[in-house]
Amino acid sequence: SKGSFYLMTAFFLQFTEEKLGQAEKTELDAHFENLLARADCTKNWTEKILRQTEVLLQPNPSARVEEFLYEKLDRKVPSRVTNGELLAQYMTEAANDFGPGTPYGKTLIKVGETQRRLGAAEREFIRSASINFLTPLRNFLEGDWRTISKERRILQNRRLDLDACKARLKKAKAAEAKAAAVPDFQETRPRNYVLSASASAPPSCLQAEHELRLTQTEFDRQAEVTRLLLEGISSTHVNHLRCLHEFVESQTNYYAQCYQFMLDLQKQLGRFSGTFVGNADSASPAAATSPPTVAAATLPAVPTIPVVPTIVGVPNTVAEGVLNPNEVKPPASGTRRARVLYDYEAADSTELALLADEMITVYSLPGMDPDWLIGERGNQKGKVPVTYLELLS
């Protein structure tokens, strides 16, 4: 109809004049504007957190694209081997080639098993974080936010309609005021001129006021719908806060597992490192000339104690070529203090059990494995692994 055409023309005219700053615009109240700004802020930061969390869980961009395509096609993402599990596989295969009974092969097997456990823990962390954290954020962006955006667009259209009707009413009142002030000469004009002029004339004040009331009602109704959706952002924040706590808990469990796995591996390697070095020395004379670690090189040494076969009941004996720390005396000067970094459980009577954060005295003996030192705590004495210590000046 002509009225609808005129209304659409007024709608686009209102939009254009607002962009050019030539038309008045119905302003929303301050609380509503704050709700809009809060919603936009929530959407923007949720997108950034979601994308960066995806990068954290899957650094490979090609793999992320593949997972995205599977998700859009509503298909199950195929299981992917983690880097730790792949490394464990290679180490195990290498150990079988080198010989699982050799020192190097045994170590490869132990490290490979730890890498496999790390990879399994990583897989579980990714699964838990995806379900408890990424999925709720993605559901908000693809569900609630789309609904909010749709209702905001409708509200924008209702506001343009309202402002266009206000402009029409203003023009209609101005036209009537002008017509009331100017004499009517329609009787002296040709009939066809009068018909064409009435067809293109704007609606009367009564019609414009009626349309304004209707558009105002529609605008108020849509504003209330949009307001309720925007106020629901508070519930979204509460839900995301709960998901964030679950993400932190999953990440904490993951890193705690990794830390424990590495401590176990470190303890295994520290306990058997002397055996490995001894085997390496017997197999390759050049290995005996390898330089000691920096920590051991800076420690004073005591005179060499001769190695004799083990004799039951005879003191000052050393078994299998390894110095017995209980039968040596510390150097007169030059010992160092060390702080224990982690708890350590002694494997036998020649080792000294350690407690984290305690202080002990340490020194080196000629012929000792550079990964070990002699530690003293009061009347207790024994071998301690260097990796569990922080040597102090």
Q: Cα angle at 22 between 17 and 26, to 5 degrees?
A: 80
Q: Which residues of the chain have a pLDDT value below 70?
A: 1-24, 64, 67-68, 70, 72-73, 77-78, 182-203, 271-328, 331-334
- Reference 226, options 38, 40, 32; nearest CA is 32
Dump pLDDT digits (tens) for 188-247: 555 554 444 444 445 578 888 888 999 999 999 999 999 999 999 999 999 999 999 999
C-alpha to C-alpha distance for 104 and 91, rounded to whole angstroms: 10
> Residue 177: its pLDDT value, please?
83
Query: What is the DSSP track for 6-56?
Result: HHHHHHHHHHHHHHTT-S--PPPPHHHHHHHHHHHHHHHHHHHHHHHHHHH
Residues whose CB is less than 8 angstroms from the CB of residue 84 and which lie 6 or more positions away in sequence, other chains included: 115, 116, 118, 119, 120, 122
Q: Cα angle at 78 between 73 and 80, to 5 degrees?
A: 140
> Residue 214: its pLDDT value, please?
93
C-alpha to C-alpha distance for 376 and 364, rounded to whole angstroms: 12
SS3 376: strand
> Residue 298: its pLDDT value, please?
45
Paired strand residues for 33: none
Strand order in the sheet with 359-363: 380-385, 372-377, 359-363, 336-340, 389-391
SS3 357: coil
Residues whose CB is less than 8 angstroms from the CB of residue 106 and which lie 6 or more positions away in sequence, other chains included: 95, 100, 272, 276
Quick one: angle between helices 233-283 and 103-129, nearest 10?
180
> Residue 16: its pLDDT value, please?
66
> Residue 176: its pLDDT value, please?
82
- Reference 168, options 217, 210, 203; nearest CA is 203
- 374, 382 contact by CB (below 8 A): yes
Dump pLDDT digits (tens) for 295-349: 433 444 444 444 444 433 333 433 344 556 566 677 666 688 999 988 898 888 8
> Longest Cα pair distance anywhere in the chain, in angstroms?
144
One-letter identity of residue 160 = L
> Residue 184: its pLDDT value, please?
55
pTM summary value? 0.58
Residues whose CB is less than 8 angstroms from the CB of residue 31 and which lie 6 or more positions away in sequence, other chains included: none
- Reference 26, options 176, 172, 160, 201; nearest CA is 160
- 35, 227 contact by CB (below 8 A): yes
